[in-house]
Amino acid sequence: MGPSGTIDFSKWWVKESWSSSSRKGNPVVVTMENPNYSVVEIDAPDSAFQPLDKERGKNAKQFTWLLLLKAHRVVGGLAWLGNSLCSLLHAVKKRLFLGHVETEMSAKAKFLFRVILTFLVMALAFLFFELIAHFKGWHYFHNHNLHLPQTSEFTGWFHTAYVRWLEFRADYVAPPMQSLSTFCIILFLIQSVDRILLCLGCFWIKFRKIKPLIDGDPLNSHDLEGSNQGYPMVLVQIPMCNEKEVYEQSISAVSQLDWPKDRLLIQVLDDSDDESIQWLIKGEVSKWSQRGVNIIYRHRKFRTGYKAGNLKSAMSCDYVKDYEFVAIFDADFQPNPDFLKKTVPHFKGNPELALVQARWAFVNKDENLLTRLQNVNLCFHFEVEQQVNGVFLNFFGFNGTAGVWRIKALEESGGWLERTTVEDMDIAVRAHLNGWKFIYLNDVKVLCELPESYEAYRKQQHRWHSGPMQLFRLCLPAIITSKIAFWKKANLIFLFFLLRKLILPFYSFTLFCIILPLTMFVPEAELPIWVICYIPVFLSFLNILPAPKSFPFIVPYLLFENTMSVTKFNAMVSGLFQLGSSYEWIVTKKAGRSSEPDLLAAEERDSKAMSLQLHRGTSDSGLSELNKIKECQETVPKPPVKKMNKIYKKELALAFLLLTAALRSLLSAQGMHFYYLLFQGVSFLLVGLDLIGEQMN
């Protein structure tokens, strides 16, 4: 009974709850955030006030083991980071001391590197000022408005220098930076609108199922058996230069085209300067010639004009006048046997048609991260740009291969010229100015190969972006004085050349690689978050739509495209101002991969079966030639197992600039800027060390 005469059940209730909780339920361990924490075991409403027993020691030990386990995990994570850093430093050491590093740089490349290095030194100096100001509490830009301290606030010469720098930054540095960033944002928006319109045009084509069709039976396949009068005369050209890895499969694929042999001639145009490779190609041509294929081998003594000079020399042969069309395949391209039957019939009844272009398909698109990212870009180029321009404008840039030309259109447009490294785009522009039309076939695909190393890809992109600017300088007067419609002139000048070949690399490099990191040190010149994040991500989604399987790589794609802007900007400047590297042509290194190993194995077995017949049917001179080919095959040295990649100084300098800007963004608590600059800096670092294709498989 209680003092007031009521029954007190508290002791009984506590006792019962204590006994029941000991039979069922799990104890709850509460850990306090305060360093002076205590471990309390709560088993019942009043259990906190119960006397301690021996079970408390066990729970405290379990808690200690839990802390030790978490500490072990943290140490393991730090060890993993350390191992990763050591691996990266080891790769850097190998490239610095064991690899082949370029020692000779052009004056233009040195100038660009010095500019980037200057920005890096300035950024480090700015960061030094900002760090000291941050730790001393000199926060004058909470609202991005300059606060001039009073005389009593000056505490020393460093503080005075810092305030003078703030005044100078607000009055003289920020305004031109803000104007340049606004200009780049306008260009960025214009280019974004162009991408959106291209995607809408592609959607309309898919929705309406628009594609070029063949009317009737232009080849007259129902004629009497043995009559090939419906098949026009077609010349097939395979230009190559030191293509040891891919010459065999390309010649094999072209030799198996389904076309009457008396209406087809194959020219293997070899510009190789290695005599052993010449003999190998001659042997492959001889093999198919013995099988009844109308194929010839041509080699120039002087390799002038690169690919354009090679094609021009081949078109000067007297027998070319007997042919109506010419199909061109680079050395790594493998057309299907029905390629000509799907492309040549489009010319019948269409006298204004000059070119039928097929789409590229890649045998090694899943080889490594670099090939996956290239596949995204090229899928958008073919699926969207080429298809939309072909349907709505009847004009696009010839891709240099996997296309069929009307020889009359080539001749009337001036033929192949050696004035640029983009002879394919050159002949396409001149044919368009003469009133010829083009057709793009998205459903006709030709197998080819993507560069698997960053070095090869970088050289290819340099040629692809310097050549158009060089061509723009040469073609601008002809475009202005041509007789085509005004809107076609505007499309060529503003869209085809300026927007997609000049503006894109300019704003991408200037805005995301220079202005963005500098805004971390000059907060008065701001970049809106939608410029940094929202619109680039949206455009990346649009670019990746034609290759939906590449969606997991959307973030690396966005970062890598910004990283490649250094190479593209460099190439654009060299082509626009006719600098030394604008006429540089380096054959893209290939690995000789094929997506149909079973067919190649069957072809190899067939070749072995035919070898006896070849030796019996040849003369003494033929036998000696085959023996010489065999000797060359045995004497050709095998390529090294692994080649040391290069270090790219400009990319490394920009990597440290972006990482420095990321550190500065932490002081201003700009989270989105920090993550973007950090990841972009790591992307530049990987590319600068040339790790993207080698170690990110």
DSSP 50-94: SPP-THHHHHHHHHHHHHHHHHHHHHHHHHHHHHHHHHHHHHHHI
- Does residue 120 lie within any of the structural domains? yes
- The predicted pLDDT at position 692 comes to 74
**Domain contains 505:** yes
User: Would 379 be classed as within a structural domain?
Assistant: no
Catalytic residue among 271, 330, 332, 426: 271
Q: Distance between CA atoms of 568 and 370, rounded to whole angstroms?
A: 16
Rounded to 5°, angle at Cα 659 from 82 and 106 = 110
Question: What is the tens place of the pLDDT at every residue in 656-680?
Answer: 888 888 888 877 767 778 888 888 8
Task: Name all contacts of 48-52 with Cβ < 8 Å and 24+ positions apart.
Answer: 50/18
- d(Cα 587, Cα 112) in Å, to the nearest integer? 25
In a domain, 352, yes or no: no
Quick one: pLDDT at residue 162?
A: 73
- Across-strand partners of 41? 29
Q: DSSP 3-state assignment of 328? A: strand
Structure tokens at 1: 């009974």
DSSP state, residue 334: B
Residues, the chain:
697
Helix (H, G, I), strand (E, B) or coil at 443: strand
Domain of 502, in residue numbers? 106-136+158-210+457-592+644-696
Quote the DSSP letter at residue 439: E
- Strands 28-30 and 234-240, bridge-based pairing: unpaired
270 in catalytic set: no
Q: Which residue of the set 43, 270, 424, 426 is catalytic?
A: 424
Output the pLDDT for position 199: 95
Please provide the DSSP assignment of 174-213 as one string. HHHHHHHHHHHHHHHHHHHHHHHHHHHHHHHHHHHT----
Give the Cα separation of 189 and 203 in Å (integer): 21
DSSP 449: -
pTM of the model: 0.76
Query: Is 448 a domain residue?
Result: no
Beta-carbon neighbour count of residue 54 at 10 Å? 6
Split into its structural domains, the chain has a count of 1
In a domain, 429, yes or no: no
Catalytic residue status for 271: yes
Q: Quote the pLDDT of residue 601.
A: 44
Residue 616's pLDDT is 36
Which segments in the chain show pLDDT lower than 50?
A: 1-52, 54-55, 99-104, 141-144, 152-154, 224, 596-602, 605, 608-623, 626, 636, 638-642, 696-697
Task: For residue 338, tell me if it sits in a domain.
Answer: no
- 127 phi/psi in degrees, rounded to 5: -65, -40
Domain membership flag for residue 130? yes
Q: Which of 151, 152, 153 is nearest to 139 (CA)?
A: 153
Residues 6+ apart with CB under 8 A from 30: 39, 40, 42
Q: What is the per-residue pLDDT for 222?
A: 59
Residue listed under structure tokens 């001889």: 286
Instruction: Identify the DSSP state of 222.
Output: T
